[in-house]
Amino acid sequence: MSDDASFDKFKACAIDVLQVPPDKVVPEARFGDDLDADSLDLVELVMALEEAFDVTVDESELEGIETVGQAYDLISAKL
Amino acid sequence: MSIPRADGGTGGRVVLVTGGSRGIGLACARHFQSLGDRVAVTYRTSPPAALGGQDAQSPDLLPVPCDVRRPEEVEAAFAAVEQALGPVEVLVANAGVTKDTLLLRMSEEAWNEVLDTDLSGVYRVVRRGLGPMVRAHRGRIVLVSSVVAFLGSPGQVNYGAAKAGLVGLARSLAREVGSRGITVNVVAPGVVDTDMIASLGEQRVEQLLAMVPLSRKASPADVAGAVGFLASADAAYITGAVLPVDGGLAMGM
């Protein structure tokens, strides 16, 4: 899968789970401040991403992940 | 299949009751069934006896084997229910065991077995059931605790600890998932006419009944009524609550 296709898939998950407009899901967007996501939203997003990309994300890997870009890098590194 | 009801309730929900082959669990299953819900029950030792009789024709009570001490069996049970009925909307964590003896004689095994089923088993079941509820932004979870959590009971250090643990579990979880419209509540039954109470012995039961203001045992249906209420539309604004169903035995505790 190309990087663009992967990011589109990632974006689709984020839009669906976080219920945000597509143009807000950009690499520099912060989950808390910009996307208004609470901790449970993020857990939901991680679960959706795990399912969509068929990867496993350990709790410890989520430490310090604050932006869409960071989260996408975490997932894409596993592909 | 959603069955509209005159009282504005929500018949046709998918309900899962753990430990639903007899006693309180079976009464809960029947209660939800009578409301038109689609009900699955887990059993460990034997499927609901009545399934072989009057309910053999009922497509609505789905028995699934599950030892809540085994995560893979919890997963398999939920998968079976989801495939047959759909995602679980009402979860009643009722499965529980006792292994009574005075603490000085209580082995690690007796302690662990009861905690593993009555407390950790609820963790496993609720954890598995919660995901779909979070995604659906609705759900009802009712944990069946016991008056022993508050009153104590000699010979039941393990059981009392597990049942008290459910209150902390429920209240923490209620705070985690409240924003998703999911409620988590506890019922605390007292002396209920079940096999579990019978195992206490007649003398102990008489002793307990002497302290019950309503001076009788509860029927399993009495408890099912309270569980049904907490899962109903009428209880939409109740979460993290402990509802005693004990005839007044532990009132104020």
pLDDT at B5 over 90: no
Least confident of B1-5, B143-147, B155-159, B211-215: B1-5
Interface test with B, best of A44, A49, A50 (most B CBs within 10 A): A44
For residue B133, the distance in angstroms to the closest alpha carbon of chain A comes to 11
pLDDT at A62 over 70: yes
Residues of chain B positioned with their CB less than 8 A from the CB of A40: 134, 176-177, 179-180
List pLDDT tens digits, range B21-65: 999 999 999 999 999 999 999 999 887 765 544 444 455 689 999
Contact B135 A40 (CB under 8 A): no
Cβ atoms of residues B141 and B187 within 8 Å:
no
For residue B192, the distance in angstroms to the closest alpha carbon of chain A comes to 38
pLDDT at B135 over 80: yes
Q: What's the DSSP call for residue A67? A: B
Catalytic residues of B: 159
User: What pLDDT does residue A58 have?
Assistant: 92
pLDDT band at A1 (very low <50, low <70, confident <90, very high): low
Identify the closest residue of chain B to A16 by CA–CA distance. B135
Percent of chain B with pLDDT over 70: 91
Average pLDDT of A59-76? 93
Domains and CATH numbers, chain B: 14-244 (3.40.50.720)
For residue A5, the distance in angstroms to the closest alpha carbon of chain B comes to 25
Size of interface A-B (CB pairs under 8 A): 10
Contact A40 B177 (CB under 8 A): yes
pTM value is: 0.89
Is B203 touching A (CB cutoff 8 A)? no
Of B148, B146, B19, B172, the residue nearest B91 (C-alpha): B19
Domains of chain A, residue spans = 3-76
For residue A7, the distance in angstroms to the closest alpha carbon of chain B comes to 22
Cβ atoms of residues A50 and A62 within 8 Å:
no
> Domain A3-76: which topology?
1.10.1200
Interface test with B, best of A40, A43, A49, A59 (most B CBs within 10 A): A40
Is B138 touching A (CB cutoff 8 A)? no
User: What pLDDT does residue B11 have?
Assistant: 58
pLDDT band at B252 (very low <50, low <70, confident <90, very high): confident
Average pLDDT of B221-226? 98
Percent of chain A with pLDDT over 90: 86
Is B177 touching A (CB cutoff 8 A)? yes
Residues of chain A positioned with their CB less than 8 A from the CB of B177: 40
User: What pLDDT does residue B196 have?
Assistant: 86
User: What pLDDT does residue B53 have?
Assistant: 40
List pLDDT tens digits, range B169-216: 999 999 999 999 999 999 999 999 998 888 888 998 999 999 999 999
List pLDDT tens digits, range B93-113: 999 999 999 999 999 999 999
Phi first, then psi: give them for residue B246, nearest 5 degrees. -130, 15
Of B174, B169, B192, B208, the residue nearest B244 (C-alpha): B192
Interface test with A, best of B127, B130, B135 (most A CBs within 10 A): B135
User: What pLDDT does residue B46 have?
Assistant: 80
From the number of C-beta atoms within 10 Å of its C-beta (0-12, 13-18, 19+), residue B154 rates as: exposed
Q: What's the DSSP call for residue B118? A: I
Cβ atoms of residues A64 and A27 within 8 Å:
no
Least confident of A2-6, A44-48, B6-10, B30-34: B6-10
> Which ipTM value was assigned to this complex?
0.79
CA dist list (Å): B141 to A69, B146, B195:
36, 16, 24
Question: In the predicted model, what is the mean pLDDT of chain B?
Answer: 91
Average pLDDT of A4-24? 94
